[in-house]
């Protein structure tokens, strides 16, 4: 009797243990559901989450608005703006040439510009209709602005290149003129220069 009772009691305990194990067991259906949810039941993931790919570095070329709104816009030949250079080129590839002007508020005496310690420089494109789009208008202290036309033979596109020379700074802009009031300007090169006495170049010519 006692042996039979112990046997029955052992069976009951075993049944309870197995029942509890089955309630906590991971079944194939649980694995399928967990896989769909991206989790693993009763265990933490050992695989670290994928790293966010690094953001691509921004281009060094930055779009710029080179027209200072505080400067009154001028045209070549008006009072005070006697210095001028001009070029005629098809910038927007519409088949017609536009006139490009570089002007500065400097006086011309006997064909020679009288430079002061600072001038306002302006660059604009003038269509055959007389419409003007200003590309550059800034005051430059103890410096100057040069203008060039760049031409790409492959695309037949032309851009205006401006070179700003100022104490301790040298900057090159590329300006794409696409039509009236449609302009994109980018900085191609910008360098801070060392102008401290004794640390620049000394050119001895004719010695």
> Three-state SS string across 13-49, please?
HHHHHHHHHHHHCCCHHHHHHHHHHCCCCCCCCCCCC
Distance CA(183)–CA(124), nearest Å, equals 11
Please say if the pLDDT value at position 85 is more than 50: yes
Read off the pTM: 0.67
pLDDT of 153? 83
> Do 75 and 103 contact (CB within 8 A), yes or no?
yes
Lowest mean pLDDT among 77-91, 103-117, 155-169, 185-199: 185-199
pLDDT of 194? 85
> Do 59 and 181 contact (CB within 8 A), yes or no?
no
**Residue 104: CB atoms within 10 Å:** 20
Please say if the pLDDT value at position 72 is more than 50: yes
Please choose, from the candidates 148, 99, 104, the residue with its C-alpha nearest in 3D space to the C-alpha of residue 125: 99
What are the backbone dihedrals phi and psi of residue 108, each rounded to the nearest 5 degrees, phi first?
-105, 125
Please choose, from the candidates 70, 147, 158, the residue with its C-alpha nearest in 3D space to the C-alpha of residue 104: 147
**Residue 106: CB atoms within 10 Å:** 20
pLDDT of 185? 97
Please say if the pLDDT value at position 133 is more than 50: yes
> Do 167 and 150 contact (CB within 8 A), yes or no?
no
């Amino acid at each position: 009797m006692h042996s039979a009772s112990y046997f029955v009691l052992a069976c009951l305990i075993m049944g309870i243990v197995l029942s509890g194990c089955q309630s906590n067991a991971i079944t194939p259906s649980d694995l399928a559901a967990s896989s769909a949810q991206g989790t693993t039941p009763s265990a933490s993931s050992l695989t670290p989450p994928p790293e966010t790919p690094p953001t691509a570095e921004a281009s060094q070329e930055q779009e710029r608005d080179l027209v200072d709104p505080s400067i009154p816009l001028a045209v070549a030949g008006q009072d005070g703006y006697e210095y001028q250079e001009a070029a005629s080129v098809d910038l927007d590839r519409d088949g017609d040439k536009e006139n490009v002007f570089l002007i500065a508020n400097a006086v011309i005496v006997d064909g020679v510009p009288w430079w002061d310690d600072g001038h306002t420089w302006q660059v604009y494109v003038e269509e055959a209709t007389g419409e003007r789009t200003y590309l550059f208008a800034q005051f430059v202290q103890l410096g100057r602005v040069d203008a060039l036309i760049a031409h790409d033979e492959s695309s037949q596109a032309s851009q205006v290149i401006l070179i700003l020379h100022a104490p301790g700074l040298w900057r090159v802009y590329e300006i794409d003129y696409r039509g009236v009031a449609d302009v994109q300007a980018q900085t191609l090169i910008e360098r801070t220069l060392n102008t401290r006495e004794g640390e620049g170049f000394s050119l001895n010519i004719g010695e």
